[in-house]
């Protein structure tokens, strides 16, 4: 779990589903001094922050940076993800079956955690499955060493220095030794991949042995996740959302997380369940999202969806958590059809979309190969001008439309 890190990169690296292209930049450093001198400054800061000399010695003595960690931090995927490519890799039949079995095996514990923190067991097991494949992949890096490497590197130095300080606090409180503190290359730790700051604020010693152990103790693992979710507004009497069907005349300006309406209002606007039936009658609000645009699935998401996004800001991740939880509970696969011609775009194709949009007078932001909100807004403006469905989704079709319009413009000039 991270709020500020790009967790997607961590996941993609672990699952090895992407063809990665390594884009190495020259290492740059926050300080002109070498690593050992820099580390002396960290030791002084740690002692000044009240961390014991024993912890500073055990964790930071003789520490060396890890070159591989800097490489991983600079890696850029060649392909973007589509909703389907992400979902197919994260919610597999094997994972659903295993999740159901593990939920049954851990039912008494999960029920106790639910009674205390109000998070339904199926969601806790879904997070567990997506974060570490149920505790199987928790990361083999020394967290202190990885965080020191990233804190020394200039790219996100302040963020990782804060993580490093919190990691030292966790060792200092006696929850784990420096040697046993293992995690991802970016410092995500344990069975639910908490970063140190999240651990410090939300990890729980649920079995009461005096240690917050998110690596090896399931009561602590589940209670820590539930405590975090409860703190960010999880509602134990609501689900995450549901797949819906949008009407042909749907106003695409309404499809975003900020536009919240009552279920009754969405029903009046023509939104229906995926099978075409009426939406449920419940006094809650939700937002409509379509992560693959108008040719992909649409979802009506409730407040708990925002809590999942606080855990990890990726919309694809959040839908995967919700969908896996549904599948654990026995619901079926999504109803939306997959289209054979819809493939993931390459980064260079997103760059081309951005460049073409700019050449046509739209403002997609920097041509960086990443389709952020500014690029999506520019796609939408282009679609509107070209009389296309204005869903703002940068697809293969949008790229082809842009090429066509740009070519016409060049001919006209």
Question: Residue numbers of the site for Ca ion (CB under 5 A)?
Answer: 205, 207, 209, 211, 213, 220
Q: Which is nearer to Ca ion, 13 or 216 (CB)?
A: 216
List b or e across 157-171, with b for residues whose CB sees 16 or more CB atoms inside 10 angstroms: bebbbbbbbbbbbbb
Q: Which is nearer to Ca ion, 213 or 243 (CB)?
A: 213
Q: Which is nearer to Ca ion, 176 or 246 (CB)?
A: 176
Q: Which is nearer to Ca ion, 219 or 390 (CB)?
A: 219
**CA 244 to CA 43: how far, in whole Å?**
54
Token pair in block for residue 66: 């890890």
Run of H or E residues at 20: strand 20-21
- What's phi and psi for 243, nearest 5 deg? -70, 140
User: Cβ atoms within 10 A of the Cβ of 296, count?
Assistant: 20
Q: Name the nearest CA neighbour of 42 among 122, 156, 213, 157.
A: 157
Residues 223 and 243 sit within 8 Å (Cβ to Cβ): no
Q: Which is nearer to Ca ion, 212 or 242 (CB)?
A: 212
Q: Which is nearer to Ca ion, 73 or 213 (CB)?
A: 213
Shortest reach from residue 363's CB to Ca ion, in Å = 52
Q: Is 111 helix (H, G, I), strand (E, B) or coil?
A: helix
**CA 296 to CA 236: how far, in whole Å?**
29
Shortest reach from residue 205's CB to Ca ion, in Å = 4
Shortest reach from residue 217's CB to Ca ion, in Å = 5
Query: What are the residues facing 243 on neighbouring strands?
Result: 299
Q: Is 53 exposed, middle or buried (0-12, 13-18, 19+ CB in 10 A)?
A: exposed
Shortest reach from residue 227's CB to Ca ion, in Å = 13
Shortest reach from residue 228's CB to Ca ion, in Å = 16
Of all residues in this chain, which one has the CB nearest to Ca ion in the complex?
205
Q: Is 30 helix (H, G, I), strand (E, B) or coil?
A: coil
Q: Which is nearer to Ca ion, 203 or 246 (CB)?
A: 203
Distances (CA, A) of 345 to 12, 247, 392: 16, 27, 15
Shortest reach from residue 203's CB to Ca ion, in Å = 9
**CA 413 to CA 239: how far, in whole Å?**
55
Token pair in block for residue 262: 């009552």
- What's phi and psi for 368, nearest 5 deg? -110, 5
Shortest reach from residue 10's CB to Ca ion, in Å = 25
Q: Which is nearer to Ca ion, 214 or 279 (CB)?
A: 214
**CA 337 to CA 318: how far, in whole Å?**
20
Run of H or E residues at 57: helix 53-60
Q: What is the largest CA-CA distance in the chain?
A: 76
Shortest reach from residue 119's CB to Ca ion, in Å = 18
Q: Which is nearer to Ca ion, 183 or 394 (CB)?
A: 183
Shortest reach from residue 208's CB to Ca ion, in Å = 7
């Amino acid at each position: 779990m991270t709020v500020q890190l790009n967790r997607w990169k961590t996941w993609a690296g672990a699952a090895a589903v992407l063809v990665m292209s390594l884009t190495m930049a020259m290492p740059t450093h926050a300080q002109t001094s070498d690593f050992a001198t820099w580390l002396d400054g960290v030791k002084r800061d740690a002692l000044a922050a009240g961390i014991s000399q024993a912890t500073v010695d055990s964790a930071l003595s003789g520490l060396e940076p890890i070159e591989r960690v800097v490489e991983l931090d600079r890696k850029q995927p060649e392909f973007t993800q589509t909703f389907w490519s992400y979902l197919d890799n994260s919610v597999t039949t094997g994972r659903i079956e295993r999740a159901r079995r593990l939920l049954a095996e851990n039912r008494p514990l999960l029920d106790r955690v639910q009674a205390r923190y109000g998070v339904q067991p199926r969601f806790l097991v879904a997070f567990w499955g997506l974060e570490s494949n149920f505790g199987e992949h928790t990361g083999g890096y020394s967290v202190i060493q990885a965080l020191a490497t990233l804190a020394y590197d200039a790219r996100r130095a302040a963020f990782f220095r804060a993580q490093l300080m919190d990691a030292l606090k966790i060792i200092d409180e006696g929850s784990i030794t420096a040697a046993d503190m293992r995690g991802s290359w970016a410092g995500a730790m344990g069975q639910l991949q908490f970063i140190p700051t999240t651990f410090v604020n939300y990890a729980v010693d649920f079995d009461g042995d005096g240690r917050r152990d998110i690596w090896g103790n399931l009561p602590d693992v589940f209670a820590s996740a539930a405590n975090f979710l409860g703190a960010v507004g999880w509602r134990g009497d609501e689900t995450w959302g549901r797949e819906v069907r949008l009407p042909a005349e749907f106003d695409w300006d309404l499809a975003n997380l900020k536009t919240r309406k009552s279920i009754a209002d969405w029903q009046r606007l023509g939104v229906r369940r995926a099978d075409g039936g009426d939406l449920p009658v419940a006094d809650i609000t939700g937002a409509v999202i379509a992560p693959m645009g108008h040719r992909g699935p649409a979802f009506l998401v409730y407040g708990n969806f925002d809590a999942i996004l606080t855990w990890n800001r990726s919309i694809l991740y959040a839908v995967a958590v919700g969908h896996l939880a549904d599948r654990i509970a026995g619901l079926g696969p999504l109803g939306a059809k997959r289209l054979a011609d819809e493939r993931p775009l390459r980064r260079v194709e997103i760059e081309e979309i951005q460049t073409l949009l700019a050449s046509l007078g739209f403002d997609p932001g920097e041509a960086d190969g990443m389709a952020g909100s500014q690029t999506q807004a520019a796609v939408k403006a282009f679609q509107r001008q070209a009389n296309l469905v204005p869903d703002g989704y940068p697809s293969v079709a949008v790229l082809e439309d842009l090429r066509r319009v740009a070519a016409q413009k060049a001919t006209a000039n």
